[in-house]
Chain A
């Protein structure tokens, strides 16, 4: 069915006009586990909207649609042309194409979106997060058109959207604030002046910003100059507003935020906290609720300040007040996000309140059906943001793009919630956020939630893009994380050289080696099993015992594997391990048992020369296995020289060449910035690896570039 719809869509795109398609037959749905969203029942008799347009894409659009469906509300999806077959479009009752791939021409294109609302007769709009969610012009235009914005009132968005104003309001509402300079920083020199007053480290951030964009930390004057320049550019291109702020950067800080919910009748409650300290480049990676750090007193104080702030701006709907908390449990107001947050599911898990449901109710004018006394903390929830990025590159991640040729979410595991907007076959493109999904696990204790998370990450099959599961898994087993002794600097502190992959423990290595050799043994048997070679039959019998040399993590390990009737007996040194046999070598996820202990691995690749890539504990390990006979000869093989790439500046990711700072013939010094690549809206500056003269520049600013493209060559 869908392909024919697709064909139709394609014709529509060729005609280059906006088309509305109503699907009578829907074959797609995501598993909607209502219990993980809410324990409060949806009152079907309560008046609500008939049709809601979701002005967003991806997982959050799907998330909102799910609750709308549960409430019996019809949904309208909007999409860019590259998204015409994406999951949120398939899930919605109607879909409207609002323009080409770049967000500015589609998901941010208010004129077309307003048209779509008119065309479809949607009574309300849920903006999700990002895009137009905190755009007060959009909410104003909706109000003018008589369409309900599912979010806070225009005034609250404006007041909280401006960091200077919000700080002032917070101050007036007796909310603790961070020391800093109350004003826009005009230039680098002025920034350095303020930094001297406040004292390094300082943080510069876009006045209009959010989500880590246009935000940088500087520890000295040089970094401040570079940061100021990059933040200005990023702020301009991301928000169309290059005003920057400067403030004290609090050391050992924890990022803890309070979820608030307010109605139009003066009721406001806080839904406790979320700890989001595991961040990279100021973007959250792992969040949990509640925090291991807060005591009841601090929680209450933070909650009450958050509510006070919300009330001060006549807030309605769901919102989040972000705080930095120092080691003494002093907390400082950071900013208020006037939208549904990415990490809202963990709050839903521990409070049993469906935030989208409440947002829709509040927007319809209903009073909150819950009071502060109804809200407790029930169990523990953890969220991992699974990104399509290479965690080994740059600072814990460079975006990776591609098509998911295999994709299976671990939803078969109880107490797992996966919020995603993709399915097998979806493409992660350069146009949008590289988040694959939000993987949420729930448990009665933190340990239970974390254990489920580890299992879920192990069972998550993602092929076609590089993903950050290795980093997530490594953090989950980190002693500091397990103890809850984290700060927002956790990642740079614990991985000062960047993330290099999980380092196997002795036990894990033993398990991995025994599984790898068992897989090889199975493959070898398969290789000599022919079903129809009868004219000359197959000769000899498969070897039951193999002596192998396994190369893993730069070590050579001698292993003997024996193919027994019910298991593989693996001898490594003085250890004897048994690996079960009840698994299929073609499965995406292999659930093996090593000495009775369950171990999940994924065979990413396996070639005839004994090279395997096996994903274990989130990390993909390259392993080479050969027989001892081959191993003896291997040392004779010449080592292949890798081409010297130090004379080339290579794009580490696909994106757009944002700017070039050198020309042909110019001398560049080692470490000098030579160009900036914009990918996923982030500016990444590339540096020369050597001092030399620029021989050629292969691209112009504005060109699209692919991963591995040589941008600049030195002589």
Chain B
């Protein structure tokens, strides 16, 4: 700040001298002193204005909606006192439609940008200010966002976007659209280099949605945030469909139906606190290791509950969350997309303090089968982990891919292939625990030995086979009368972990209670794993 003031005052001094060549020195000095004072007070005034955003009445109306202001949000997200702001004095350059009016000009121009610390670790942030022109994106505004995105890339630190914007600054026309594209381009180039997180805390509509869509994680706030391409009015005009904001693009719609958002929180405060927690799981960039935190939960802890958790009957469901929570540190699991494609569970946890990505088939929902949604959900998560050096632990209990016309016609082949592709290309440590069923192609997909699984375990209840006994017997012994006997033979032969273990497709059959102990030890072993894929521009995942 001091250097800016110095430069301003120097320039002011030079100008003064140019204009009043004949004035004696003394007077010049007193005059420049006056100017300096003016500049100082102008700085103060502008800073004050920037802090006030769109003014008190707009702040009040933001509060009335149950939303915090852009600055309040940044302050809650960052460690107290750590936020450093950029571009407080940036103003828009539009002169059309009365925008040149000082009333329509706000220092900072509707977005707060900068960097700060979350639990001591650096993060870049931009926070759109709905109180200024509805948080709309101007070209100046976009420039500010791009500036911190560029710096984040250079430094190697994550970018967090707090979205609360009515959309493009219409008065600026194509300039605003250019701003969006500039951001998109940076989102794409940053993808896989630094983690990018979006928290939707108000409207985010039209083209604007594609920036969060490209980021790694999109979270929303219940009841106060919306994401959609076109709003209810356009939907009504084009499709003659009546729909509310909430039903069209609210948190529920995107966390349960579309899968566009990875989670939702009750309100702004909770969302920001949870985001801080979430941030702790992530490395700052692809050059960093997955974080290790101090852990008090013993890595050698035995888990007796796992010995009895899988039901005796293979058609009975159980909750894979029980397995996950029992295994990880302190039962803490940050679930990603908890309400979408519940037949697969994904999320972050820690093992002996080290961040791991957990993927688990969920037998409680749709028998834990892989369908289109589950495959896509799993694939994106696996790819994130691989991008950012986060080891993946996979709990397998999968009866196969979901059959049926809706799945086939919906493209389960290419969507299922995404999960296969993601696991196959991943070079991070991959640990697999087969808790029960591992049937058919789904067995191959779920981090199998054949897809470079580093350490694959089977519990005694594991059944690695092409399909269940009934189906298999129908094919093998077509027309044979003694079905029951054949079924029994199949069960004895295949419905157990030995066929896979005897071929080395699982490394060991383990007592379930020792799972944590082994996984912690293996993660330690694999922390120096070196594996790379052949050089390529990029692979061609079946999108």
> Which residues of B have CB within 8 Å of A542?
120
> Which residues of B have CB within 8 Å of A14?
491
Q: Looking at the complex, which of A129-137, A234-242, A627-635 is the stretch in contact with chain B? A: A627-635
Given the contacts A7-B461, A425-B309, A540-B120, A586 and B326 also touching, CB distance less than 8 Å: no
Given the contacts A539-B117, A609-B269, A532 and B289 also touching, CB distance less than 8 Å: yes
Nearest-CB distance from B428 to chain A (Å)?
A: 15
Query: A530, B292: Cβ atoms under 8 Å?
Result: yes
- C-alpha gap A214/B212 in the complex (Å): 62
Q: For the complex, is B296 an interface residue (Cβ under 8 Å from A)? A: yes
Query: A633, B76: Cβ atoms under 8 Å?
Result: yes
Query: B63, A636: Cβ atoms under 8 Å?
Result: yes
Nearest-CB distance from B195 to chain A (Å)?
A: 13
Q: For the complex, is A6 an interface residue (Cβ under 8 Å from B)? A: yes
Nearest-CB distance from B194 to chain A (Å)?
A: 11
> Which residues of A have CB within 8 Å of B305?
403-406, 424-425, 464
Q: Looking at the complex, which of B273-281, B339-347, B448-456 is the stretch in contact with chain A? A: B273-281
Query: B293, A536: Cβ atoms under 8 Å?
Result: no
Given the contacts A3-B512, A530-B293, A405 and B322 also touching, CB distance less than 8 Å: yes
Instruction: Scan A483-504; emit 1 where CB is below 8 A from any B CB, else 0.
Output: 0000000000000000000000
Query: A423, B294: Cβ atoms under 8 Å?
Result: no
Instruction: Scan A397-435; emit 1 where CB is below 8 A from any B CB, else 0.
Output: 000000111100000000000000001111100000000
> Which residues of B have CB within 8 Å of A540?
79, 82, 117, 120
List which B270-298 residues lie within 8 A (CB) of chain A. Answer: 270, 273-274, 276-277, 280, 283-285, 287-289, 291-298
Instruction: Scan B415-441; emit 1 where CB is below 8 A from any A CB, else 0.
Output: 000000000000000000000000000
List which B481-508 residues lie within 8 A (CB) of chain A. Answer: 488, 491-492, 496
- C-alpha gap A638/B65 in the complex (Å): 8
Partner of B223 from the list A539, A584, A638 (CB cut-off 8 Å) is A638
Given the contacts A6-B307, A426-B308, A586 and B297 also touching, CB distance less than 8 Å: yes
- C-alpha gap A668/B183 in the complex (Å): 60
Q: Looking at the complex, which of A148-156, A521-529, A692-700 is the stretch in contact with chain B? A: A521-529
Query: B121, A84: Cβ atoms under 8 Å?
Result: no
Instruction: Scan B141-162; emit 1 where CB is below 8 A from any A CB, else 0.
Output: 0000000000000011100000
Nearest-CB distance from A605 to chain B (Å)?
A: 8
List which A627-671 residues lie within 8 A (CB) of chain B. Answer: 629-630, 633-634, 636-638, 640
Partner of B274 from the list A4, A426, A526, A609 (CB cut-off 8 Å) is A609
- C-alpha gap A329/B222 in the complex (Å): 63
Query: B274, A7: Cβ atoms under 8 Å?
Result: no
Query: A539, B80: Cβ atoms under 8 Å?
Result: no
Q: For the complex, is B330 an interface residue (Cβ under 8 Å from A)? A: yes
Partner of A527 from the list B63, B117, B280, B288 (CB cut-off 8 Å) is B280
List which B308-323 residues lie within 8 A (CB) of chain A. Answer: 308-309, 312-313, 322
- C-alpha gap A464/B224 in the complex (Å): 34
Given the contacts A609-B270, A609-B274, A531 and B294 also touching, CB distance less than 8 Å: yes
Query: B304, A536: Cβ atoms under 8 Å?
Result: no
List which B449-488 residues lie within 8 A (CB) of chain A. Answer: 459-461, 488
Given the contacts A4-B460, A529-B293, A539-B117, A405 and B325 also touching, CB distance less than 8 Å: yes
Q: For the complex, is B168 an interface residue (Cβ under 8 Å from A)? A: no
Query: B80, A543: Cβ atoms under 8 Å?
Result: yes
Nearest-CB distance from B519 to chain A (Å)?
A: 17
Given the contacts A526-B293, A609-B269, A636-B66, A425 and B306 also touching, CB distance less than 8 Å: yes
- Which residue of B has the minimal Cβ distance to A86? B308
Given the contacts A3-B512, A405-B326, A638-B66, A532 and B267 also touching, CB distance less than 8 Å: no
Nearest-CB distance from A285 to chain B (Å)?
A: 28
Query: B460, A531: Cβ atoms under 8 Å?
Result: no
Nearest-CB distance from A61 to chain B (Å)?
A: 18
> Which residues of B have CB within 8 Å of A527?
119, 277, 280, 293
Query: B308, A85: Cβ atoms under 8 Å?
Result: yes
> Which residues of A have CB within 8 Å of B335?
none
> Which residues of B have CB within 8 Å of A81?
312
List which A417-467 residues lie within 8 A (CB) of chain B. Answer: 423-427, 464
- Which residue of A has the minimal Cβ distance to B64? A636
- C-alpha gap A403/B309 in the complex (Å): 8
Query: A608, B512: Cβ atoms under 8 Å?
Result: no
Query: A423, B304: Cβ atoms under 8 Å?
Result: yes
> Which residues of A have CB within 8 Å of B309?
403, 425
Query: B289, A403: Cβ atoms under 8 Å?
Result: no
Q: For the complex, is A17 an interface residue (Cβ under 8 Å from B)? A: no
- Which residue of B has the minimal Cβ distance to A532? B292
Interface of A is mostly: loop
List which A1-29 residues lie within 8 A (CB) of chain B. Answer: 2-4, 6-7, 9-11, 13-15
Instruction: Scan A536-557; emit 1 where CB is below 8 A from any B CB, else 0.
Output: 1011101100000000000000
Query: A13, B276: Cβ atoms under 8 Å?
Result: no
- C-alpha gap A608/B296 in the complex (Å): 18
Query: B294, A529: Cβ atoms under 8 Å?
Result: yes
Instruction: Scan A584-619; emit 1 where CB is below 8 A from any B CB, else 0.
Output: 111100000000000000000001111000000000
Nearest-CB distance from B309 to chain A (Å)?
A: 7
Nearest-CB distance from B525 to chain A (Å)?
A: 16
Nearest-CB distance from A499 to chain B (Å)?
A: 28
Query: B460, A3: Cβ atoms under 8 Å?
Result: yes
Q: For the complex, is B122 an interface residue (Cβ under 8 Å from A)? A: yes
Nearest-CB distance from A23 to chain B (Å)?
A: 15
> Which residues of A have CB within 8 Å of B68?
633, 636
Q: For the complex, is A533 an interface residue (Cβ under 8 Å from B)? A: yes
User: Which of A3, A464, A538 has the most chain B CB within a 10 Å cutoff?
Assistant: A3
Q: For the complex, is A44 an interface residue (Cβ under 8 Å from B)? A: no
> Which residues of B have CB within 8 Å of A638?
66, 223-224, 267
Q: For the complex, is B17 an interface residue (Cβ under 8 Å from A)? A: no
> Which residues of B have CB within 8 Å of A6?
307-308, 312, 460
> Which residues of A have CB within 8 Å of B524?
none
Query: B312, A535: Cβ atoms under 8 Å?
Result: no
Nearest-CB distance from A606 to chain B (Å)?
A: 9
Query: B308, A535: Cβ atoms under 8 Å?
Result: no
Q: For the complex, is B75 an interface residue (Cβ under 8 Å from A)? A: yes
- C-alpha gap A526/B120 in the complex (Å): 12
- C-alpha gap A536/B488 in the complex (Å): 60
- C-alpha gap A404/B82 in the complex (Å): 44
Nearest-CB distance from B246 to chain A (Å)?
A: 13
Partner of B269 from the list A11, A427, A529, A633 (CB cut-off 8 Å) is A633
- C-alpha gap A568/B309 in the complex (Å): 40
Instruction: Scan A565-591; emit 1 where CB is below 8 A from any B CB, else 0.
Output: 000000000000000000011110000
Given the contacts A423-B304, A425-B305, A536 and B295 also touching, CB distance less than 8 Å: no
Given contacts A634-B269, A636-B66, 14 further A-B contacts (CB under 8 A): A10-B312, A81-B312, A405-B322, A423-B304, A526-B294, A529-B294, A530-B293, A532-B292, A538-B119, A586-B296, A608-B276, A633-B68, A633-B269, A640-B267
Closest 4 CB pairs of A and B: A608-B277, A538-B120, A586-B296, A638-B66
Which residues of A pack against B, CB within 8 Å?
A: 2-4, 6-7, 9-11, 13-15, 81-82, 84-85, 403-406, 423-427, 464, 526-533, 535-536, 538-540, 542-543, 584-587, 607-610, 626, 629-630, 633-634, 636-638, 640
Q: List 24 A-B contacts (CB under 8 A).
A: A3-B511, A6-B307, A6-B308, A9-B312, A15-B488, A403-B308, A405-B325, A405-B326, A423-B304, A425-B308, A425-B309, A527-B277, A528-B120, A530-B292, A531-B293, A535-B288, A540-B79, A586-B298, A607-B277, A634-B269, A636-B66, A637-B66, A637-B268, A640-B223
